[in-house]
Structure 1
Amino acid sequence: MYPYGLIGNCETAALVSTSGAVDWFCYPRFDSPSIFAAILDRQRGGSFRISPVNPVPAGEQVYLRDTNLLTTTFHRSEGTLVLTDFMPCFNEGERFLSLKRICRGVEARGGPVEVECVMDPAPAYGRARTSFAEREGIVIASGGSQEVILSSTIPMTGAVQDVDGRPRFAYRFTLQPGKQEWFTLGFGERYFALGRKFPSSSDATELAARTSEFWQRWLDQCLYTGPFQESVRRSALVIKLLTYAPTGALCAAPTTSIPEDPGGERNWDYRFCWLRDASYGIAALFRAGFSQEAADFINWIRDRAYDHDFAMQIVYRVDGDPRLPEEFLEHLAGFDGARPVRIGNRAAGQRQLDVFGAVIDCMAVYQRKGGFISAKLWMVIERFADGIWELSREPDNGIWEFQGERKHHTHSKLWCWVALDRAITLARGTGYTSHVPQWERAAADLRAEIETRAWNPRIGAFTQAYDDDCLDAAVLQMPVLGFLPATDPRMTATIETLSQRLLNGPYVRRYDCTDDQGYLSAAFLLCSFWYVDGLIGMNRLDAAERQLEQLINLSSPLGLLAEGADPVSGTPRGNFPQAYSHLGVIDSAVRLERARAAQQAQAPSDTPSRERQEATG
């Protein structure tokens, strides 16, 4: 797995390596320029490392229980160094506050440890040169429009060094046991220009306690108590961390250009809010017991709809800006040499018809859990649903964002049906029923069309697109969306065919045909969770539990999941950590637990399930 832990404050995030280095950090938002980007170029990307002078072996990372506070422990013969990293965020009365700081605590145990602090900023994705200044016991590094301020509870007597033509600040000191010391990196404001007080490290211990309490109290809402509780709770913490608090938008992943396939060009910037991804993620949180995130996200969707006269695009910046021009950073070497390094995402201009269904489905979950559908929000739902039939007549780029010829993708048509089906449900729950008859007719016509044109009797499966031969794991969503039960003979046959052609152990690839960029070998972890959901739908609960356990075992030691994996070696692929993968953990675990409860309610307590009977002969 990638040797990184994630910290964040619900506005931006950083990756901290097992060597104690912040190797990825953008500010002030997830989708802002980086100031540390060593994951994309070890020489020019920049990093901020605090570690023993002796770098070997790497540290052992764990999160403080039920929080996003990360510890990295370095064991040395002379003593042990414990590094604690977090970004402060907490509630103050009714307000949520996220401070623009990275706090890094160091504590020696068992003996003194010689420690090295190296701050090597590379502002603006490494395109701006850094200059350093010292003032009032702090170190200021600035370049372009970015500036960071380093303070410490220890007097810093380091020096600025020139390494490979770039300046960096380095400081060595001996840390004695008995007291935790702090380094604080302030960011996001031009302190000199604004005449503001510099961020201090003196309150870091208090901020750690308040931040820990915030995460623990937030997690107390979790309703899941099944066998995968630890993984579900960690996944919820990841999704919450990736939620941009000022708007409620969910960032798909905090990174860019970690390749889906080595040696190719599938290196994408995922630091934005895809309406589909976010709808999935927020709905998963809601099912697990977290409600405020759904309200915030739905309000953000409502505002985007009114701001753009209901002409929504599929992806936005987390602050709602629709402009995501794609650019190559040619000066960066890339993650393990994978190029190009991209910022921005040209998929913003694509047509993906499933988006509206995902959004309306999220609103239906919200209503079912007691959420209020206002007249203003209903107007958004009604406008979306009214346009679905006409949209469904058109081909699109599909969920996988194909860049070649548009097709009539089965998954997209399925979600168009979902948009109508959930709009009907919402209408009956709110009393706004005047458009229901036309939606019912359109939904019936779409269902008949999908069942006729997406089903391929020759291969015995629903296919990627109408009148097609390509298999696509996205059709595995049919049962959980209520289109067809997994026990329908066509759905059962589809799951069986997909398992033969796309499944390898716990891994499920997206599709079995080439696309506009060639052959994609990597498995997509969300598809693997969809397969688990299919097994649950067929009441193969023991098999589903085994499959889910294997998927969860793919997590890093910290419980973090990437976008995908190599189905042969198990090597992680794609941006990290990925909201999609973590919502898959939550949804599949919750569905499995509900299915277990339903099975137990239907059968005598001393009667084993059919699958257990078969397993024991």
Structure 2
Amino acid sequence: MLPPVEDLARSIGQPVKLTRQALRELDADGDIVLSRRGAARRLRPDETHPKDEAVAREIRAGILSGHYRSGTPLPTGLLARRHSLGVRRMARVCRPLLGAGLLVHRGELDGPRLYVAVPDADQGGAGLIEDHALLSDQRGSALVRSNGDMNWLCLGRFDDPALLARLLGTAEHGLWRLAPAALPGAAAVPVPVRRYLGETLVHEIEWVTGTGTVKVTDFMPPGGEASQVVPMVTGVRGEVAMHSLLRVRPDYGHYLPRLDRVDDRCVALDPGQNSGGRLWAQATVPLRADGGDLRAAFTVTAGETVAFSLTYWEGIDSPPPQPALDALLKATLDHWTRWAGHCTYTGKDRADVLRSLLTLGALIYAPTGAIVAAATTSLPEEIGGVRQWDYRYTWLRDGALTSIALARCGYLDEALAWIDWMVRACAGTPERRRIMYRIDGGTDLREEVLAHLPGYEGSVPVRIGNGAADQLQLDVYGELADALREMALAVPAAAPRIAAVLVDLATELEPLWHKPDRGAWEIRGPLRHMTHSKMMSWATFDRAVRAIEQGWATGPLERWRELRETIHRDVCEKGYDPERNTFTQSYGSTDIDAALLHGLLTGFLPADDKRTIGTIEAVQRELGTDSGLLLRYPTEGEDVGVDGLTGDEGHFLIGTGWLSEALVRIGRVDEAQTTLATLVSLRNDVGLLAEEYDPHAGRQLGNFPQAFSHLAHVRAAQAVGSASARAAHATAAPQPTGTAS
């Protein structure tokens, strides 16, 4: 429910009469429901306004009966006139039908238009988030569902407009289905089994049918001139009838591409507006055009291979040369096997940790060294809520934490490449570094809403860009400083160059550290003095002072020593609650925040300090749940919370990783091991984690796969493994014995 009109008017600084009028207008547009007593509530994205139920039923019945035929425009103008509805009200009537997959937006020359969806390819929707596996060529990415459907594809760059966007909409927004054909009289297509091949990102699905066995191998070859995704179908036993449906819909499903046939096995596709290249669909079997789709029906026998590819070739208007696909597969396998071979982690859980490291490697944009936060945009933190964000960019915080995890496991080159990218990107904004950049260092991250997409399971808005890019987030300086110092220690020859960047960070932070900010969670509510941000400001000057003391750099040593102590006192006086023996989310607040665990991991206080132990226990007590997971901070349901948003969210997985590390630090290794095991148990069948987890629904939430979650796994495993090894060594060490007198 919305607050009473008097309270609402007071909170927005408007007269009650004007506020009441605004609510009536929102009710008239179908955005809220206003009762006779004046109480108001927001409509869920999939909910029809009571006044619109009749027209919504009419449209739904017309679609299901075939009166409005699949693939044809919905006569919205006629319907609006018949029911005396305005444009905005008509759009609100159709929104739940979009979410249900009955309607789809399609871009046309005069703007987007509503069409009746084609139902034949949308069986079961996009599936659960964790149903998917990741493909990457370290430039773009794809997500393949466990049934073989490719529901997300960005070729060329992680942050390019998706060519397949069924994940955030319906089948009409783009998918690639490659699976055994459903034969007349057959009971059903069998459930497939999938895996990654060895220590790689080559994905394989195998079906065992009544007539034979077949496998589909999906991969994105790294390092080539063009960016492409390659599915290969191989017969294993008997024979299997197969069907391929490639439905490319550029610009997040907004455009129906023009198809230009080169021959019966090669078709060019227009990738949409503002593109400097073309898409090429190629196959070793004939491709049949069906409207804007490409279909193929074929049978494979034991030992036979049929291959497909979709390639984006920039600046060239001729088909790309197609190398032998078995050689391309071998090159891809070799690339990732070599990459995995650099891993120095040797714990008993090496296979699990390596899968998380491979996932982090897959999120590296190789041309620049940037590391994206996740492969997707707008997967919801709460089903049906408003917390949908675009994570296909490079946050300085996320990149710094990822680079530390990589460096500690042998990937120094990747960590150094990220530092080089960071220096280049930040040089483009010398007045003050931003908290995130595009993967090429660009700064145009204007946030937009894609209104034509109904969202994952009706969760809207779907956003691209990110409005948090301009925020002041002081903790970023500390995460950067921590990563820089760690890399300087790991690569002494590079220490002077790295320390110079560290001094620049401290210089930039000096006039800023005392200001309120948005914090690590990018709150969109009022600015606050976030305690974690202040802890990380302390870490910045601590690392800068140490770099100067070690002779790596020059700077105002005494002034920064004093400032380090000033910040420390400030945090301990204003961010600490002595009655509860815990630090708090912000100065003067009573809330707890999981980010405090990370602040303490910097060495802000000794491990045996009562405030360290008290804060860890307070986080467990106030943010922990029966699932063994942590919330990041309290949310307020339908009321606006500290982050400026309504709604709730899942359990943020990096918090559980931080808790495991923090427990190791205070000597509770067994408890830390249990916490780590809880985190690892949430991975899907191919070892991937989203941003969050909902223990009540038993499903992953948020963008996927998420660097935060995987680096948390790596770092917690390192901490627990090292502590367990030390304990085992101490137990095994011979004890001194006395001598006879």
TM-score in terms of structure 1 length: 0.92
Match of 1:444 in 2: 565
User: Deviations 1:361-414 (Å, cap 9, x if unpaired)?
Assistant: 111111111154476654432221123232111000111111110000011111
Match of 1:184 in 2: 309
User: Deviations 1:484-522 (Å, cap 9, x if unpaired)?
Assistant: 234321121121122122112231000125331135341
Matched, 1:170 2:299: no
Structure number with the bigger relative contact order (C-alpha 8 A, sep ≥ 6) is 1
Is 2:285–2:298's contact at 8 Å kept on the other side of the alignment? no
- The separation in 1 between residues aligned to 2:710 and 2:404, in whole angstroms, is 12
Bigger Cα displacement from structure 2, 204-213 vs 483-492: 483-492
Taking the TM superposition and a 5 Å limit, the aligned residue runs for 1:577-616 are: 577-605=705-733
Match of 2:281 in 1: 150
Summarize the Cα distance change of 1:581–1:396 in structure 2 as closer, same or farther, 3 Å threshold: same
Shift of 1:602: 4.0
Match of 1:61 among 177, 194, 211: 194
Is 2:479–2:536's contact at 8 Å kept on the other side of the alignment? yes
Summarize the Cα distance change of 1:13–1:305 in structure 2 as closer, same or farther, 3 Å threshold: same
Match of 1:428 among 545, 549, 563: 549
Summarize the Cα distance change of 1:371–1:138 in structure 2 as closer, same or farther, 3 Å threshold: farther
SS in structure 2 of the partner of residue 411 of structure 1? helix
Is 2:488–2:498's contact at 8 Å kept on the other side of the alignment? no
Match of 2:593 among 469, 472, 481: 472
SS in structure 1 of the partner of residue 542 of structure 2? helix
SS in structure 2 of the partner of residue 107 of structure 1? strand
User: Deviations 1:241-262 (Å, cap 9, x if unpaired)?
Assistant: 1011111111000101100012
Taking the TM superposition and a 5 Å limit, the aligned residue runs for 1:337-416 are: 337-373=458-494, 377-416=498-537
User: Deviations 1:143-164 (Å, cap 9, x if unpaired)?
Assistant: 4245321212x231x42224xx
1:232 is aligned with what amino acid? V
SS in structure 2 of the partner of residue 596 of structure 1? helix
The percent of aligned pairs where both chains have the same amino acid is 32
Matched, 1:86 2:219: yes
Summarize the Cα distance change of 1:448–1:19 in structure 2 as closer, same or farther, 3 Å threshold: same
Is 1:117–1:171's contact at 8 Å kept on the other side of the alignment? yes
Shift of 1:304: 2.1
2:725 is aligned with what amino acid? A
Match of 1:506 among 610, 618, 628: 628
Is 1:11–1:98's contact at 8 Å kept on the other side of the alignment? no
Is 1:356–1:419's contact at 8 Å kept on the other side of the alignment? yes
Shift of 1:433: 3.5
2:214 is aligned with what amino acid? L
User: Deviations 1:528-586 (Å, cap 9, x if unpaired)?
Assistant: 11111121112111221122112101000000000001132331110000000000011
Is 2:488–2:499's contact at 8 Å kept on the other side of the alignment? no
Q: What 5-or-longer segments of structure 2 have no aligned partner?
A: 1-128, 183-187, 636-640, 736-741
Match of 2:344 in 1: 223
Match of 2:699 in 1: 571
Is 2:382–2:647's contact at 8 Å kept on the other side of the alignment? no
2:230 is aligned with what amino acid? C
Larger radius of gyration: 2
Summarize the Cα distance change of 1:185–1:80 in structure 2 as closer, same or farther, 3 Å threshold: same
Is 1:89–1:99's contact at 8 Å kept on the other side of the alignment? no
Summarize the Cα distance change of 1:41–1:371 in structure 2 as closer, same or farther, 3 Å threshold: farther
User: Deviations 1:277-321 (Å, cap 9, x if unpaired)?
Assistant: 110001110011111111111111111232222521001111110
Match of 2:258 in 1: 131
- The separation in 2 between residues aligned to 1:173 and 1:130, in whole angstroms, is 25
Match of 2:608 among 487, 493, 498: 487
SS in structure 2 of the partner of residue 587 of structure 1? helix
SS in structure 1 of the partner of residue 591 of structure 2? coil
Match of 1:613 in 2: none
Match of 1:159 among 280, 283, 288: 288
User: Deviations 1:67-123 (Å, cap 9, x if unpaired)?
Assistant: 010001122111122110111125xxxxxx574111111111221110111110101
- The separation in 2 between residues aligned to 1:534 and 1:244, in whole angstroms, is 31
- The separation in 1 between residues aligned to 2:422 and 2:473, in whole angstroms, is 16
Summarize the Cα distance change of 1:277–1:104 in structure 2 as closer, same or farther, 3 Å threshold: same
- The separation in 1 between residues aligned to 2:443 and 2:347, in whole angstroms, is 40
Match of 2:154 in 1: 26
Matched, 1:120 2:247: yes
Is 1:409–1:464's contact at 8 Å kept on the other side of the alignment? yes
Summarize the Cα distance change of 1:344–1:478 in structure 2 as closer, same or farther, 3 Å threshold: closer
Summarize the Cα distance change of 1:306–1:143 in structure 2 as closer, same or farther, 3 Å threshold: closer
- The separation in 2 between residues aligned to 1:120 and 1:396, in whole angstroms, is 44
Bigger Cα displacement from structure 2, 577-586 vs 502-511: 502-511
Match of 1:93 in 2: none
Taking the TM superposition and a 5 Å limit, the aligned residue runs for 1:515-526 are: 515=642, 516-526=644-654
- The separation in 2 between residues aligned to 1:98 and 1:250, in whole angstroms, is 21
TM-score in terms of structure 2 length: 0.77
Match of 2:40 in 1: none
- The separation in 2 between residues aligned to 1:179 and 1:143, in whole angstroms, is 32
- The separation in 2 between residues aligned to 1:344 and 1:495, in whole angstroms, is 35
Match of 2:87 in 1: none
Match of 1:73 in 2: 206
Summarize the Cα distance change of 1:601–1:63 in structure 2 as closer, same or farther, 3 Å threshold: same
SS in structure 1 of the partner of residue 601 of structure 2? coil
SS in structure 1 of the partner of residue 559 of structure 2? helix
SS in structure 1 of the partner of residue 512 of structure 2? helix
Shift of 1:276: 0.2
User: Deviations 1:194-222 (Å, cap 9, x if unpaired)?
Assistant: xx44242x511111111111111111111
Is 1:88–1:99's contact at 8 Å kept on the other side of the alignment? no
Match of 2:690 in 1: 562
- The separation in 1 between residues aligned to 2:671 and 2:529, in whole angstroms, is 33
Is 1:50–1:116's contact at 8 Å kept on the other side of the alignment? yes
